[in-house]
Amino acid sequence: MSAAKGTGKGRVGPLAAHPGATTRLDVDALLDDPATGIIVCCGSGGVGKTTTSAALALRAAERGRKVVVLTIDPARRLAQSMGIEALDNTPRPVAGIDPAAGGSLDAMMLDMKSTFDEVVLSQASPEKAKQILENPFYIVLSTSFAGTQEYMAMEKLGQIHADAQERGTYDLIVVDTPPSRSALDFLDAPERLSSFLDGRFIRLMLAPAKGPARLMTAGLGLVTGALTKVLGAQVLTDLQTFVAAIDTVFGGFRVRAQKTYALLQDPSTAFVVVAAPEPDALREAAYFVERLEGDRMPLAGLVVNRASPQPRGKLSAEEASAAVQRLEAAGDAPADGPGDPTLTAGLLRLHADRMTTLAREAQLRARFEAGHPGVPTAVVPALASDVHDLGGLRRVGELLADG
């Protein structure tokens, strides 16, 4: 994967943003730029983020890039749209892409338990790994502990990137993040993990593993005795066994997670914020933009999905509404009756409603632009039906490129 430091076409980033009119997000320039090694799509739920990620990955592959798309969204729409029965922790080739440009496309879905197990197996001896994998505290931590998904997303992204650089498997990674504000929780993973490992209780529990002298201290003996009464001897033993392995397993992960965080700040990464033309979605988009800029993450731009399509008529909403009133007052055409379809009050009313919606959406985008000038934007009109195959993803990719 390219590690070029140039900003690339279409990249703004926190330092390159400038006041002025919103520019169009040049999606094809972003995808074609060899300096673009990672694209991270983030946004609130229900805005088409997974579809956008898949469409970008497909378009990049059919323009000659070797792409893998990683989803950590629990929904399985990505597998369905790419014709794969199920996604798992192993990249799987997507059949049916146009190979003319020489590109390829793989898809995978984060399995946090499998990724956690991989960390253990790579960092511990076989005997210790078996001991950890069977530990009840580890089983809980690796399947349901708050933040585990984000930690493992960092780990898996780092693994894919390292493998891509070593073996040349991919030159572009597209990451589809979880919905809502938790999509940026993986940015906090290294710091949160470090805080957990450096906590007072963890240091206390690690003390028995660091030498017989520490084990015999009176203070620790009192604490251990109290915990034994509360938890039971076996539970305390399991906990101490698990905690004793933390430095072995998580020390390496903490370093790698911090490297991945630095990778996300590198100019070879591009964050794409996805939103819908609704007040709540654009407020969330504003949060993402501000957070990315605050953390000095390179922002490529904003994608506004499912915008109302432009109607063919040239009448404004006010003109259409006035025409409806004139027709109904004159009785020249029933509200929904026969006659010239371009002149019926029903169609004029529909046109007026659509123009009103377009004006509202334009106002929302203008408000976003006023608060975040210089962020390139692509506006994608809503499709008549849901995307469920490669043909639909190609159409979305075309619309993204048209902007």
| Segment 315-355, tens digit of pLDDT | 666 776 677 677 667 665 444 444 444 457 777 777 677 77
CATH number, domain of 156, equals 3.40.50.300
Same domain, 264 and 346: no
Neighbours of 325 (CB within 10 A): 11
Same domain, 340 and 251: no
Give a yes or no: residue 22 inside a domain. yes
Give a yes or no: residue 140 inside a domain. yes
Same domain, 256 and 350: no
Percent of the chain residues topping a pLDDT of 90: 37
Q: What is the pLDDT of residue 95?
A: 92
Same domain, 324 and 381: no
Instruction: Give the pLDDT band of residue 293 (cuts 50, 70, 90).
Output: very high
Give the range of the structural domain holding residue 375, as residue numbers without chain letter: 13-193+246-311+368-402
Strand ranges (E), 180-323: 269-275, 299-307
Instruction: Give the pLDDT band of residue 2 (cuts 50, 70, 90).
Output: very low
Give a yes or no: residue 198 inside a domain. no
Same domain, 250 and 395: yes
> What is the 3-state composition of the chain as percent helix, strand, coil, each rounded to the nearest 5?
55, 10, 35
Give a yes or no: residue 333 inside a domain. yes
Distance CA 202, CA 221 (A): 16
Q: Are 86 and 55 in contact (CB under 8 A)?
A: no
Same domain, 348 and 324: yes
Which of the two residues, 379 and 22, has the higher pLDDT score?
379
Same domain, 189 and 261: yes
In sequence order, which residues have a C-beta less than 8 Å from that of residue 141 and are 6 or more positions away? 116, 148, 242
Give a yes or no: residue 166 inside a domain. yes
Instruction: Give the pLDDT band of residue 142 (cuts 50, 70, 90).
Output: confident
Q: What average pLDDT does range 199-219 have in this prediction?
A: 49
Give pLDDT tens digits for 4-43. Answer: 333 334 455 433 333 344 689 999 999 999 999 999 999 8
Distance CA 254, CA 193 (A): 7
For 390, which DSSP code?
Answer: H
* Total domains in the fold of the chain: 2
Q: What average pLDDT does range 379-395 have in this prediction?
A: 90
Question: Would you say residue 268 has pLDDT above 80?
Answer: yes
Q: What is the pLDDT of residue 12?
A: 52
In sequence order, which residues have a C-beta less than 8 Å from that of residue 258 and are 6 or more positions away? 190
Question: Would you say residue 46 has pLDDT above 70?
Answer: yes
Give a yes or no: residue 220 inside a domain. no
Same domain, 183 and 321: no
Asked whether the whole model's pTM tops 0.85, one would answer: no
Give a yes or no: residue 200 inside a domain. no
